Structures are given as structure tokens and as C-alpha cells.
Structure 1
Amino acid sequence: MASLATDPAQSLAITPEDVRRAAEAIGSQVVRTPTLESRTLSELTGARVFLKFENLQFTAAYKERGALNRLLSLTAEERKRGVIAMSAGNHAQGLAYHARRLGIPATIVMPQFTPLIKVQQTEGHGADVALHGEKLEEATAHAHEIAEKRGLVFVHPFDDPLVMAGQGTVALEMFADAPDIDTLVVPIGGGGLISGCAVAASEVAPNCDIVGVQAELYPSMKSAIEGQPIIADGDTLAEGIAVRTPGRLTLEVVRRLVSDIRLVSERDLERAVSMLLAIEKTVVEGAGAAGLAALLAHPHRFRGRTVGLILCGGNIDTRLLANVLLRDLVRSGRLARLKIRLKDRPGQLFGVARVFDQQQVNILEVSHQRIFTNLPAKGLVTEIECETRGADHLDRLIEALRAAGYDVSRVELA
């Protein structure tokens, strides 16, 4: 439970008062995003689900809140010199956007592998972008070097009290709009968002259960809390929370105020992104869908609760989003690729197509393979991509093909 009643708050980096001051400071300069109940997700998960649409911020992520709160604390002389940050994503855009609004020069250091679209979006907000290093750690070190040489103020993406307090304003708004929330599920990267939210909840909802969520490939905070070696690597859909080393300040808050941390697989994340678009008609990135992924992966943990989920960001590459949606259609049986063994004689493909017609299944693509196969020279394999009404419809098609004498197998996703 998020309570500080039995343990003085001064031992943590921020207090509930810091979060309240942040809310007053950033005021109307960020969007007060809606908190809405999802009846459909509630029915599907067995919990009463409320969604906080932080993907509706101007830069499509909650990161604006902490960045702005930090910028507003600068002295006139610091504003003149400017700020610098290391970020490959939402922190970069949030800081750059509000720095330009306030007339503060901003420099962002990004790893060289950063997608071009993110570089362009950050530059579009008026920041100078420097690409350096292959890893985030290298970019961070370079940002500190530039800050020291040019006298710039380094704005950490999560391990900064003012940034943490700014992120905590998300929870203040949620509990004001949905006071019945008894379980708050928060994505964890470096820990800035969950730290701010947990401290805010300790005062306005002291009995609320705070649960963190991390991608299985990046369980850094969970490992640190449990005293385990941190093994975090790989390509995750939730790149916004793909942090190898949690914050020093945020770690202590999580240790004190967070009940537990749940891990979610890539498949859970993909399914959650697809469901939010299909059901709520809202686009979220992998990190933004992590809370729903946790409900899907660990239903018994949340069933019967009134759950608050923070859709913390919506910056996802459109091609990646298309892949996620198509893969979800495959897993649901609405799209399928069937491998069918045929004899190399006239009428074989016609016979297969007739079965598809009888079962009212739409054929999208046909591919014959005669050369790269282990079949005899007069044998061939055809792969047919098709569209069905769902898993049951697909099963009926496969049964009909086999009944007609064809050797059929599905091409499965990894």
C-alpha cells in the first residue's frame, strides 16, 4: 500500500507536497488528460478498469510533466545558458517542446541508432540534436561532457526529484477523477513515473495498491529490488521502458511504496496495443500498453479490483504498429498462411480454391514452391494467405481441406 504514515517521508527524494507544488507549477501548460472507465476492458479482464490517456499530451507522452516542472525551477541565468538531456524518445520531445515555449535553448544527445523519425520530431521542437554512441550509456556520458564544457543544466529523464514530482501529477488527476481506484498499475523504466505516482497516492489514496510493470526483457527495477543480477537486453516493443539501470532515487521510492512488480512478455504487449486500438480507438506505444498487458498476463492478481491504467505514451512507428496489428490478426485466426502439399498436375490449385470458396474464405495471396523444397521433383508446395472470420472458421477450412485429401499445415508465428 502507498502509505508513508509509519515511515517519515523526508527519507525519500520527494514528498506529497512536492507533487502538489508541481501540479500548481505546470498548471494549464500541459493537457489535463481524461480518466475514463472502459466497460469493454472491464468485462474482458474481470476488473473495473479506468484509463488515463496521457497519449493525448501534445508530444503524446506524460514525460512533458516532469520536464516542464524541472524547467520552471531554473534561474534566469540557467535559462539563458540552456539545458541538455540524453534521451532517445519521449523525454527528448517533452523537454524540447517546453524549452522552446519558455525560450530556453535545449540540446538533446541521442544514440546513433535512434530512428530518424524521433530525431526529426525532436529537432522539430527546436532542439539541437547530437547523435553519439551506440548505447544509451555512451550518449549519457557524452551529454554530461557537453554540459560541463558549455555550462548547461543536465535534465535527467527520471532520477531527479523535480522530474519525479512532475510525473506524480498524473496520479493526482487520476484520483481526482476516479477516487474509487484501489489498484494503480504503472509501467516502469527508470522509475520516475511510478515514484511520483506512488508518493502522490500515499497522501490522496493511502490504501491504494501500487503495482509496477516491466517488460520481461528489461526487468531492471524488479531485479534491483530483489537483489538479483540485472540482465536486461534485447529488442522490446516497450522501448520506452527499456532501461538497463534504474534510478538511485526512484529505487528507494519503489522499494518503500510499490507492492510488487509484474513482468509481461512481448506477446502480451502486442496484444494490449492491438486491444487498445480496436476497443478504445486509441494509439499507444508498447510502454503505454504495459499496464493492460499486465492485466492480461496476470488476471488473478487484478480480478475484482478497481484498476487505474496509465496509457503513458502514444509514440509508435506506424510500420511497427501495422506489424503488431497484423500479427494479432494471425494469432486470433483471422489471418492465416497455410502450407498445402500438391501433386504437380493440372487442376490441383483449382481444387484447393474450390474448397476455399465452399468455406467462404477469402484468398489474399498464393505462392507456389517447386525448387526450394524437400519434396520429389514432381511434388510442390503452395502457400496460401487467407482471411477468415476467426479461429473456428479457420479450423473448419483446414478440416475441409484435409477431408478433400490435402496435406495441410499452418505457418505459425514465433
Structure 2
Amino acid sequence: MERMQVAGVTIRDVWRAQKRIGSIVSKTPLLFSQHLSDRLEANVYLKLENMQPTGAFKLRGAANKILSLTKDEKDKGVATFSTGNHGIAVAHVAKAANIPATVCISRRVPQEKVKKLKRLGAHVEIVGDNQDDAEQYCYELENQSGVTVIKPFDDPEVIAGQGTIALELLEECPEIDQAVIPLSGGGLLAGISLALKSTDATINITGVSMEKGAVMHESLKHGRPIVLKESDTLADSLLGGLGPDNRYTFSMVKQLMDKSVLVSENSIAKGIMFMLEYHKMAIEGAAGAGIGWLLGEESSKYKNIVLVISGNNVDHDTIRSLTGKY
């Protein structure tokens, strides 16, 4: 059997990542959703990455990258750019390993995430109105001080780290035939897809983005990474560009994803409130996007569906504002 390798990342890299990050990352529960299952006449499971210590899946990729650095690189410190969750993950790992960390974010990042970054001891730089501005400043820091930039998604170790989710899925639900995954820069979808399709190429991979600023979705339509203006959205974690020199995630998503779908803000809100009502969990908009999409489907041809609940870093004010509407 030929080994699957996409953009230089292999299933062996994912297994290495699982071993490396075991002391920092939690194995998250796979929750059966009775209501969604009844609605779609299928078995629908929720992979609860919102239960990571940092509240999101990003911990996996950040841990794998940072723990792979040399001692000299660790001593010089790390920096990253983020819409919030990746920065929180980098700050968490850096604090545990006693490594200096700087997180560059845009003004669009919710205050709840900014406060969390500061509580973790990271130096926070707020730059510009979008992730591209924060990214540019982050690389300026790299040139000035020699810190190592921990990319949010377009990095082999980060991709492999996110792929460890799939190893857990296959252990708990080997019959999985569809994975519904939030899609932004593509690190999460690329890692999970590589591991799942290395096991069974027929497993369907569906990426879910918001209608406003779905950069990977639009880039795939254009055949190359493009730049989109960011807009306010409940799924703020899915904002951000693909980077001017995307080397891994664009090609991996293009090769591995079977379907890309967009959901409205109304559907995202319904997904958030569904999780609160039926499973008593507060989740962020990016995590609610997949639920919102499934709630809009009348049936499914798949029998064992897994939704990745990517994170829980949502502002309290957002939950309060939605409670009276849905």
C-alpha cells in the first residue's frame, strides 16, 4: 500500500505528534448527540475539543511545534499571530515550558480572549484591523529579536498536531464515514483529513465556513490563496488570511476535502444555542458553524458523522445577546 503524503506531511508525523504532546494535551470526549442523530437518522457524534485546557483544539498544534524546538530556539522565545485561540495555546504551552511568548493580534479579537492571553503571562501586541497586519508585525519581531514564529496553521508540526484528533476519532468511532470540520486557514482540516484518509480514502471530509470572509473557500474557487476583507462574524475564530506564501494547508485542503459549505450568521447562532440547550455547553461561533449546517440538512447519506466542536472561547455578552433571540 502506498503511503499517503500530502505537502510533505505523513501519517507517521501525526503519530509522532501524539507521543510528543501527550503530557500537555487532553484526550477529549466523543459525545453522542441524540437530537442531531434523530433529526438526520444517523449516528452523530461531537468531538469536544472545547474541553481542552485552553478551551480549543489549537493546543495540539502549538504544543507539537513548540516542543519540537531546539533548546536555543526555546531560550530565545516564541511569537505568534492569532485571532485568539492559537495565541492562547502558544501562551499556555510557553508558560508550562518557561519560554517567553509574544502574541500579536488584531483589534477584532474579542476582549475575552485578550484577557485570557494576559492571564497566561503572554506579552500581547494589538496591531491593525486584521490577522494579516498582526502577522506582518510578528515577522518583524522575528527579524529584530530572533524569536521563533509559531504559525497558526501553515506548518507541518502544527498540522500533524491537529491530526491527532483523528487518531482519537478512529479509536472511538472506527465506523466514521463523514467528518464535519470548521475551515479557516486549514490546519485543522488538513491534519484530520490526512489521518482519516490515510486509513480510509472514502471518508467524507466537509469543511464549514461562515459566509463572511471565508478565505479558504474563496481561495479554492480562485485556484490560489487570495486576500479577503474581514467582516464582523460570530465565527471570529475562522477569520484570517492564508498568508502570502502558503506552503502546506492550501494544497492539502484542495487535495483532501470533499465538500466546502458556507453557513449564515443565523445558522451559526442556532448552532451555538443548540449546544447550550441540548448539551449545556457554551461554544464559540466557529464550533457552532458545523452544527448550524447540519441543522439545515433534512437528511444525510452518511451513517456515522462526527462534528469537531473546535472551541469554547466565546464572550459572555455574545451568549447573552443570543439567548433572547433563539
Q: Which amino acid aligns with 2:263?
A: V
2: CA distance, partners of 1:38 / 1:117: 28
Contact 1:96 1:126 (8 Å CA) reproduced: yes
Q: Which amino acid aligns with 1:187?
A: P
1:10-29 correspondence runs (5 A): 10-29=5-24
Contact 1:194 1:212 (8 Å CA) reproduced: yes
Are positions 1:169 and 2:164 aligned together? Answer: yes
With over 3 angstroms needed to count, the CA separation of the structure-2 counterparts of 1:19 and 1:304, relative to structure 1, is closer
When normalised by structure 1's length, the TM-score is 0.74
With over 3 angstroms needed to count, the CA separation of the structure-2 counterparts of 1:115 and 1:224, relative to structure 1, is closer
2: CA distance, partners of 1:277 / 1:297: 18
Are positions 1:233 and 2:230 aligned together? Answer: yes
1:277-296 correspondence runs (5 A): 277-296=276-295
1:98-247 correspondence runs (5 A): 98-227=93-222, 231-245=228-242, 247=246
Cα-to-partner distance string for 1:113-159 (whole Å, 9 max, x where unaligned):
43333222101111111122222211111110011100000010000
Partner of 2:308: 310
1: CA distance, partners of 2:316 / 2:148: 34
Partner of 2:255: 256
2:325 to 324, 327, 330: 327
**Higher relative contact order at CA 8 Å, sep ≥6: structure 1 or structure 2?**
2
With over 3 angstroms needed to count, the CA separation of the structure-2 counterparts of 1:65 and 1:230, relative to structure 1, is same
2: CA distance, partners of 1:281 / 1:116: 23
Contact 1:223 1:230 (8 Å CA) reproduced: no
Cα-to-partner distance string for 1:217-249 (whole Å, 9 max, x where unaligned):
122212222227765532111111123437441
Cα-to-partner distance string for 1:365-404 (whole Å, 9 max, x where unaligned):
xxxxxxxxxxxxxxxxxxxxxxxxxxxxxxxxxxxxxxxx
1:339-350 correspondence runs (5 A): none
Unaligned runs of 5+ in 2: none
1: CA distance, partners of 2:44 / 2:303: 8
2: CA distance, partners of 1:137 / 1:312: 22
Partner of 1:349: none
Aligned residues: 322
Quote the RMSD (CA, aligned, Å).
1.8
Unaligned runs of 5+ in 1: 329-414
Are positions 1:62 and 2:60 aligned together? Answer: no
SS at match of 2:314: coil
Contact 1:185 1:308 (8 Å CA) reproduced: yes
Deviation for aligned residue 1:303: 4.5
SS at match of 1:28: coil
SS at match of 2:62: helix
Partner of 2:92: 97
Contact 1:232 1:244 (8 Å CA) reproduced: no
Q: Which amino acid aligns with 1:254?
A: V
When normalised by structure 2's length, the TM-score is 0.94
SS at match of 1:275: helix
2: CA distance, partners of 1:82 / 1:28: 21
With over 3 angstroms needed to count, the CA separation of the structure-2 counterparts of 1:239 and 1:154, relative to structure 1, is same
With over 3 angstroms needed to count, the CA separation of the structure-2 counterparts of 1:113 and 1:188, relative to structure 1, is closer
The ranges of structure 1 where at least 4 consecutive aligned residues each deviate by more than 4 angstroms after the TM superposition are: 228-232
Contact 2:64 2:161 (8 Å CA) reproduced: yes
Identity %: 35
Deviation for aligned residue 1:39: 1.4
1:371-390 correspondence runs (5 A): none
Larger deviation, residues 287-296 vs 49-58: 287-296
Cα-to-partner distance string for 1:177-229 (whole Å, 9 max, x where unaligned):
11111100100010000000001112233321111111111222122222277
The structure with more radius of gyration: 1
SS at match of 2:305: strand
1: CA distance, partners of 2:221 / 2:236: 23
1: CA distance, partners of 2:315 / 2:105: 17
2: CA distance, partners of 1:33 / 1:139: 31
With over 3 angstroms needed to count, the CA separation of the structure-2 counterparts of 1:85 and 1:292, relative to structure 1, is same
SS at match of 1:77: helix
